[in-house]
Structure 1
Amino acid sequence: MSSATDHEASARELPPGLWDRLRLDPVRAPEHIALAAGRTFAPQAASWAAGKRSRYAVSPLELATMAKKRHATLARFEGAATGVGGIVTMVPDLAALAWIQARLVFYVAAAYGYDPHDQMRPAELLVLHDFYPDPQTARRALDGIGATVVQSYVGSKLQRDEALALRLAKLLGMKSARMLAGRMIPGVAIAFNAIGNERRTRALADRAIRFYGG
């Protein structure tokens, strides 16, 4: 992609094939997202950080704060857009939020001078989500996925969607039914998603800033 507009579009839309992989292999959805994020966002993050540094005298924290603000806004707008459908659009909303937050982590890493292309970045993404206890464990899990074919989930479409929703909710730190309830009601979910998505994205940004900024 060559323009900032194209990059922003890729933050809101899952890349071709990823949605199918998530539906087919919902149990390993977080790992599929992390690997796809590395392929998609590493070049963007590197280009973004280099471009900002070439035009402005900015500190790593200032760059990271720019990334935090932009991705919090993206998450808010995405949540409002998918909140119209309530439960019908809940799974796409969770997937889109996870995708936006993945981009955020790569941008914060680049802001602090870490190579976005490094194979540990996707692993660190999962650790920042508290999905794995440490980057080494996360990396081994990612390597295992890369060495195997996608595992088809045995079950109906409804069961697959439920499994995917629960896995994405766990990745995003939504550990109770109450945290998902507001996303199921059409209309009400517009405000619920918008506010919740922005708040969670800002919190993830703060964790990433502490992690990469020391």
Structure 2
Amino acid sequence: MLAWTQARMVLHVAAAYGIDPTHSDRATDLLVLQKVHKVAETARLALGVAAGRERAGALFGQPSATGRTFLRLSVKLAQMAGVGAAKRMVAKLVPGAGVVFGTWANSAATKDLARRTQELYRQPPWVPRQRSGEGT
């Protein structure tokens, strides 16, 4: 539910800054803003693999860009699973701690995402908009 709410927030902020929230680049922006990918290029490649436009069969053979992207995504998902396991363990040890910790962590993550989103879309209209992850 948090990811859905945060994605909607990003799309609303994009629309508020005059950026088309329905454009396919918003999916790339979301992956970069959520720090699933560091740069837009790898986010686009991952979306292409997920949509079946890119070959996923070569992921384990030669070290291709797709393989490196898959590996990075796997590591990120493992890290996210580890954080979730740590939260569950703390919640079991201290009754009510899960609610307090979850609320604090989710609030901080959403505020940070809102800040990054505003920085991305806030550029003046006369300056060409960089794609997410470029120049960083």
Question: Which band: TM-score by shorter chain?
Answer: 0.5 to 0.7
| Correspondence for 2:47 among 117, 127, 142 | 142
Give the root-mean-square deviation of aligned CA atoms: 2.8
**1:32-43 equivalence runs, <5 A:** none
| Correspondence for 1:105 among 10, 24, 28 | 10
Distance of 1:180 and 1:200 partners within structure 2? 18
TM-score (norm 2): 0.61
* 1:212 lines up with 2:117 in the alignment: no
Distance of 2:50 and 2:87 partners within structure 1? 33
SS in structure 2 at match of 1:130: coil
The structure in which a higher percent of residues are helix is 1
**1:1-214 equivalence runs, <5 A:** 96-147=1-52, 167=77, 170=80, 177=83, 181-184=86-89, 185-186=91-92, 187-214=96-123
SS in structure 2 at match of 1:199: helix
The higher-RCO structure (CA 8 Å, 6+ apart) is 1
Unaligned runs of 5+ in 2: 54-73, 124-136
Using a 3 Å threshold, how does the CA distance of structure 1 residues 197 and 113 change in structure 2: closer, same or farther?
same
CA drift of 1:142 comes to 0.5
Count how many residue pairs are aligned between Structure 1 and Structure 2: 99
Distance of 1:128 and 1:208 partners within structure 2? 7
Distance of 1:128 and 1:117 partners within structure 2? 16
TM-score (norm 1): 0.40
Using a 3 Å threshold, how does the CA distance of structure 1 residues 119 and 168 change in structure 2: closer, same or farther?
farther
